[in-house]
Amino acid sequence: YNVAICEHLRWNASHLMMGYVPMTPDVKKHIDGTCDERTKQHLCIVDWNQLPCGTQRYDYFVVKTTVQIARNTICKTTNQGEE
């Protein structure tokens, strides 16, 4: 849970550094998705607790995938030394 929150904080920081800003209510009325590329506004640049559960799953998935990749990399590196 805490790692997924940290992942969302990382994601927010990344998007803010790329020039994105939180989406205004007016822009939200006029787009179908979560992002307006023209104005660089994103609906998900909010605190973790403001995200819908379905969107929070993206952060959980990133953490889960990162752990799986790290485990596979460590296992491959460890097994190469045994050959």
1 Cβ partners below 8 Å, 6+ apart?
none
Asked if 27 contacts 41 with a C-beta cutoff of 8 angstroms, the reply is yes
pTM: 0.82
> In tens digits, what is the pLDDT along the chain, a chain of 83 residues?
899 999 999 999 999 999 999 999 999 999 999 999 999 999 999 999 999 999 999 999 999 999 999 999 887 766 665 55
Task: Read off φ and ψ for residue 31, nearest 5 degrees.
Answer: -125, 155
Count of other CB atoms within 10 angstroms of residue 26: 8
